[in-house]
Structure 1
């Protein structure tokens, strides 16, 4: 009985990990300019497990005194909130990419120069149950 419970939990964890997103662009440590637009590529690896995307939120927050706040505690300036519809693309020169969505966002002109945390908050419904999958991924950018 114990083995069966552990197996079920392991399957659920593996299923959730397969639904997890990644920030494909901009790369960690990228230089961005305040007052300009950037493209945020949100990747979701292909999976056999059924899921329904609910939404994503893209936000940015300056780091103060060299300390970046945890996006789970405070998001900062909201750059995008809305649907997430990852898809394969056949753009020339893109190679083999997982399903993804590119979203153009404006970096606020009032954003302080220096390091900043760009975060993507993701919510989806996974499996036949379904169960909610909530996650936050982030990269640190350098704002000029």
Structure 2
């Protein structure tokens, strides 16, 4: 019974640390070579955590299904610290990253991938999650 309770608490605390992509919206159209803001949100939580990093990548997949960022991040646009802060009272804490879309990327469907790494709980166990958003290169 203790094992089941421990696993349930682990799952709840991990879920409480989940990040989300606040921007860009699904399907946003961007031009090769342009700058784009990627907003990564991390809702406030009662569970202790220490943010480690965020990696943002992009892969072009105009004629075939995109690969999950858990398996392939594509071209890395950002790799570094993540420090979400409250900015507006109606939004969760977030951090904005300005990235440049590669000028050589093909037109069509592209997948923006985000890998979020944090340390969670009193023992600070590592937690990794991947997020994605489909955008259009035009």
TM-score by length of 1: 0.92
Of 124-133 and 69-78, the range deviating more from structure 2? 69-78
Question: In the alignment, which of 26, 40, 47 is matched to residue 49 of structure 1?
Answer: 47
Superposition deviation, residue 128 in structure 1 = 0.7
Aligned partner of residue 11 in structure 1, secondary structure: helix
In structure 2, how many angstroms separate the alpha carbons of the residues matched to 1:130 and 1:74?
Answer: 26
Q: What's 1:98 paired with?
A: 92
Report the RMSD for the aligned CA atoms in angstroms: 1.1
Q: For each residue in 1:10-41, what CA deviation from the matched residue of structure 2 results, as whole angstroms up to 9, or x when unmatched? A: 11111001101100000111111111001000
The normalised TM-score by structure 2 is 0.96
Q: What SS does structure 2 have at the residue aligned with 1:46?
A: coil
Query: What is the aligned partner in structure 2 of residue 33 from structure 1?
Result: 31
Q: How does 1:1-144 map to 2 (within 5 A)?
A: 3-90=1-88, 96-144=90-138
- Do the aligned residues in 1 keep the contact of 2:50 with 2:118 (CA within 8 Å)? yes
What is the CA distance between 1:70 and its match in structure 2?
Answer: 1.8
Shift in Å, 1:66: 3.0
Displaced runs of 4 or more, over 2 A: none
Q: Unaligned regions of 5+ residues in structure 2, if any?
A: none
